Amino acid sequence: MGDLFFNKVAGVILAVALFMMALSELTNIVFGRGVSAELAYPVDLTALQAAAPAPEEASGPVDFGLLLASADLSAGERTARRCVACHTFNQGGANGTGPNLWGVMGRAVAGVAGFNYSSAMNAYGSGGSSWQFQNMYDYLENPRGYVPGTSMSFAGLRDAQERINIIAYMRAQDDEPLPLPAPLAAGTAGEDMTADAGVEADMAGQDAAMEQPANAGEMPGAEAGAPEAQEPVSDDGEANEGEGGPDAGGGR
């Protein structure tokens, strides 16, 4: 039991430690790095994020029949408080900064005699348009986007449910409320479409993410090809983001 004994023990421990390090390194090489290389391919976040809001634009027809039937009238009335600085909703109510809104659903656009509408609103109404569910829904989301040049300086109601509720409220402020459209047939309903579009967006995002590493991996030498292959994706992403910007804001 001299120094030699401890040397031997230390040697064995060292050898075991070295062996285990080598083993773990080997495992990393065989499994760990292989797997992580697959998972750590560059996911184009811009493309993924741009792919998500895009389908909201094309989320299919809004099912006004269904949504308005279950709208929250008192929530709509609360939202209407944001309009009363400029509008009255009661029958025979005075025009303010904006026209009286009694019976506005179904009414001719710019239809209050004696109210000084902007030329933009007059032009929009000149074709005989009336306020229906769809154009009211779009107008209230972004008044100055929908009728450029309108004198209604109101930012808009970005929340779709809020718009549904206030449209239901305005519809009720009428002698003869505008009839509700029939709910859309199952499968074409807005909600279903949105769900489908969402799945499609996810798929599109996955495709976009998977195409890149596939190309890059198959052509190891063609490094010049990889950036080229990425360009259209990031260009699209930027373009979509630009288009989606205002609308992405619209979702909030």
Of 53, 87, 164, 201, the one binding ligand HEC by CB under 6 A: 87
Site string for ligand HEC, 150-189 (x = CB under 6 A): xxxxx--x--------x-----------------------
3-class SS at 196? Answer: helix
CB of 121 to ligand HEC, least distance (A): 3
Residues 6+ apart with CB under 8 A from 229: 211, 212, 215, 216
Site size with ligand HEC, rule: CB under 6 A: 27
Residues near 46 by beta carbon (within 8 Å), at least 6 away in sequence: 234, 237, 238, 241
The length of the chain is: 252
In angstroms, what is the minimal distance from the CB of 64 to ligand HEC?
Answer: 16
With both helix axes pointing from N to C terminus, report the angle between 190-218 and 225-251 in degrees, rounded to the nearest 10.
Answer: 160
The encoded tokens of residue 109 equal: 């656009």
Instruction: Considering only residues 24 through 63, tell me which ones interact with ligand HEC, judged by CB under 6 A.
Output: none
Tokens of 96: 């303010």
User: Smallest distance, Å, CB 132 to ligand HEC?
Assistant: 11
Would you count residue 197 as binding ligand HEC (CB under 6 A)?
Answer: no
Is 99 among the residues that bind ligand HEC (CB under 6 A)? yes
Footprint of ligand HEC on this chain (CB under 6 A)?
A: 82-83, 85-87, 97-99, 101, 104, 109-112, 117-118, 120-121, 131, 140, 150-154, 157, 166
